[in-house]
């Protein structure tokens, strides 16, 4: 089974590339983030024509997550139990389902904006709610993984120049501690470094020639429990999909399983 995660940064803008990539990559299940659409606007019909069922949690022009699968979708849960919400409202940042016998979450962790911003406190609270929600499945015997845009670089090597991030989010001690707490439920990072190049970044800013200069970050992660990790046979970042006109600022991360 081939499973992937991709922050598409607007599924409407990225739809032709998304459909072409699904066909060419042979992906069975794709976790999508930042759909930037309502559930009604989600292109479920176009995906169905390729053989994919959809589970969507989206409410408007910001955020939004989905799972699309050609190996079935069962037991769909939209939203995060214990979601702390932001500014009085819950945001569509997680959807989970069982696909081909594997339990999967697609997550879009809050950005945090700045360390002294209320959104940063929300980010840490959201991480804690996620940790509490997944602890049972993470420690269980069924293959289980959380895939998505975590908006945290796990180590200094996961950003192009750590000195440029002084005082910024994505690399703070508290954010990395939240990642550690999540892993301690029984999860591991199943996409190793290095892959086929020294820095397998997954995100490059559109500005200041971020991608051509490889000024990137590794913030799109796949955390799996022991049965999931044991089943992994290969993994890679599809850096080529970041190239060309109309690309997302994130690249897909792909994991192959023998299940």
Fold classification of 2-257 is Deoxyribonuclease I; Chain A (3.60.10)
Q: Report CA 173 to chain centroid distance, whole Å.
A: 21
Distance (Å, rounded) from C-alpha 128 to C-alpha 116? 19
Q: Classify burial at 233, counting beta carbons within 10 Å of its beta carbon; exposed 0-12, middle 13-18, buried 19 or more.
A: exposed
List the catalytic residue out of 149, 158, 203, 223: 149
Write the pLDDT tens digit of every residue in 121-160. 999 999 999 999 999 999 999 999 999 999 999 999 999 9
Could you give the percent of the chain with pLDDT greater than 90?
94
Tell me how far apart the alpha carbons of residues 60 and 166 are, in angstroms, rounded to a whole number.
33
pLDDT of residue 199: 61
Examine the pLDDT at 194 and tell me if it is beyond 60: no
φ, ψ for residue 125, nearest 5 deg:
-65, -40
Please state the rounded mean pLDDT for residues 166-192.
96
Binned at pLDDT 50, 70 and 90, residue 200 comes out as confident
Most distant CA pair in the chain, distance:
47
| 39 contact partners, CB below 8 Å, separation of at least 6 | 56, 57, 58, 59
Provide the Cα torsion 213, 237, 206, 79; round to 10°.
-150
Round to whole Å and give the CA distance between 69 and 141.
Answer: 22
Confidence label for 192 from pLDDT (cuts 50, 70 and 90): confident
What global pTM score does this model have?
A: 0.97
Region 216-225: mean pLDDT is 97
Split at pLDDT 50, 70, 90, the class of 198 is low
Give yes or no for a contact between 201 and 149, defined as CB atoms under 8 angstroms apart. no
Measured between alpha carbons, how far is 202 from 249 in angstroms, rounded to an integer?
8
pLDDT(164) > 70: yes
Q: Which of the following is catalytic: 158, 170, 220, 250?
A: 250
Average pLDDT of span 55-71 = 96
Tell how many helices (H) and how many strands (E) occur in the chain: 5, 14
Per-chain mean pLDDT for the chain:
96
Which residues line the annotated binding site for Mg(2+)?
7, 34, 149, 151, 249-250
Distance CA 216, CA 164 (A): 12
Write out pLDDT tens, residues 27-62: 999 999 999 999 999 999 999 999 999 999 999 888
Q: Which of 108, 120, 122, 203 is catalytic?
A: 108
108 pLDDT higher than 60? yes
Instruction: State the pLDDT at residue 172.
Output: 98
Does pLDDT of 20 surpass 70? Answer: yes
- pLDDT at position 168 is 96
250 belongs to the catalytic site: yes
pLDDT at residue number 259: 87
Classify the C-alpha dihedral 65-254-21-73 as positive or negative.
negative
Average pLDDT over residues 236-253: 96
What 8-state DSSP symbol labels residue 165? G
Residue 196 pLDDT greater than 60, yes or no? no
Contact criterion met (CB below 8 Å) for 47 and 68? yes
């Amino acid at each position: 089974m081939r499973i992937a995660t991709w922050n598409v940064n607007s599924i409407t803008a990225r739809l032709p590339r998304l459909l072409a990539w699904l066909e060419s990559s042979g992906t069975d299940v794709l976790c999508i983030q930042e759909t930037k659409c309502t559930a009604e606007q989600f292109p479920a019909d176009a995906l169905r024509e390729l053989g994919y069922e959809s589970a969507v949690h989206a409410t408007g022009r910001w955020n939004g997550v989905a799972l699309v699968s050609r190996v079935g979708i069962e037991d769909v849960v939209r939203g995060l139990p214990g979601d702390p919400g932001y500014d009085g409202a819950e945001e569509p940042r997680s959807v989970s389902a069982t696909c081909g016998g594997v339990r999967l979450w697609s997550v879009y962790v809050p950005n945090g904006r700045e360390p002294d911003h209320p959104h940063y406190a929300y980010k840490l609270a959201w991480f804690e709610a996620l940790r509490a929600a997944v602890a049972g499945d993470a420690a269980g015997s069924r293959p289980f993984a959380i895939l998505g845009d975590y908006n945290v670089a796990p180590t200094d090597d996961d950003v192009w120049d750590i000195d440029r991030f002084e005082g910024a989010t994505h690399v703070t001690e508290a954010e990395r501690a939240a990642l550690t707490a999540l892993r301690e439920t029984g999860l591991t990072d199943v996409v190793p470094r290095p892959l086929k190049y020294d820095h397998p970044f997954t995100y490059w800013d559109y500005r200041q020639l971020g991608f051509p200069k490889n000024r990137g970050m590794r913030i799109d992660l796949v955390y799996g429990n022991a049965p999931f990790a044991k089943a992994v046979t290969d993994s890679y970042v599809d850096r080529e999909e970041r190239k060309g006109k109309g690309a997302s600022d994130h690249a897909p991360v792909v994991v192959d399983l023998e299940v």
